[in-house]
Amino acid sequence: MHRSHHQLRFLTLLSSFCLLAALFGLAGQPVLGKFDLQLSNEIVQVFSLDLPAGSHVRLRQNIYDVIVIALEDSTLTLVPAEGAGNDLQLNSGDVRILPKLTVNELANNTAVKSRFVIVALKSHGIETGECGCSGEVEKSICGCTARHLPRLWAFSIGGSTLAGVSLNAGQDFAGASYREDSLLVALTPLRLLDERASGPESLLSLAPGEAKWLPQGQRQFKNVGSTAARFITIEF
């Protein structure tokens, strides 16, 4: 049986309406970021965080003091439990300390995806007033200024020492040094040789955003990769 012209027109309009409804329904769904746990011990929890364009994620880890490490140039919006969000302009390698219970959500309100490493400090917390504005590195890490961190920097807070390191291809540290337990986070592809170690543990290979827990001991890293190596360390 052939359908009438009016029936065909009605079905066409109905199909178009359903398609539009589906599209607007999908567009109205919130886009969520994704946390991936990399490692956890009695001192830290380390997460990779992917924030697609226009996405947000609840920062449940802010029951602890949190360190945010940007893996690329990006804009990150910090949303407190009450009040308006605060936009941070971050360069690759920039670090921000978020004192516990100050941030409810992290959001990416731009049109491009951004990636971060989130370090929750389960111990060695930061006392109120410790994150101040006395020096340029401290101002940047504690959010007192919009300036970015240099490639080489160091800062001690809450019983921890944070540092940004850059080694050219073939470059090594001048001498070995004793290190307490540390977390190393790669900003670039890493191939580091620990000249004080032997066997498989002497070579450290990490992709950008990957983290490695380093137990205390003597260490002397050399960049055996073909390009400059950049990484963040947090020593406890």
Q: Read off the CATH number of the domain in which 88 is found.
A: 2.60.120.10
Confidence (pLDDT) at 132:
87
Mean pLDDT of the 179-200 span: 94
How much is the average pLDDT of 183-208?
94
Residue 47 structural domain: 31-144
Tell me which of 95, 114, 144 is where a domain ends: 144
Higher-confidence residue of 195 and 22: namely 195
Instruction: Tell me what the mean pLDDT of segment 100-104 comes to.
Output: 96
**Per-residue pLDDT at 6:** 52
When pLDDT is averaged across residues 169-195 and rounded to a whole number, the result is 93
What does the pLDDT average to over 196-225? 94
- pTM comes to 0.85
Q: Classify residue 23: in a domain, yes or no.
A: no
Are the C-beta atoms of residues 191 and 224 closer than 8 Å to each other? yes
State residue 174's pLDDT score: 75
Q: Which of 118, 144, 170 is at the close of a domain?
A: 144
pLDDT tier at 183, thresholds 50, 70, 90: very high
* 131 and 222 inside one domain: no
Q: What is the mean pLDDT of residues 40-64?
A: 97
140/41 same-domain check: yes
Same domain, 101 and 62: yes
Query: How many domains does the chain divide into?
Result: 2
Report the C-alpha gap between 96 and 68 in whole angstroms: 5
107 and 77 Cβ atoms separated by less than 8 Å: yes
Q: Is residue 225's pLDDT more than 60? A: yes
Note whether residue 5 is domain-resident: no
Residue 152 domain flag: no
Please tell me whether residues 50 and 95 are part of one structural domain: yes
Return the HEC string of 150-163. Answer: CCCEEEEECCEEEE
Q: Are residues 132 and 175 in the same domain?
A: no
Backbone torsions φ then ψ of 78, nearest 5 degrees: -95, 120
14-42 pLDDT, tens digit per residue, is 455 444 434 444 445 679 999 999 999 99
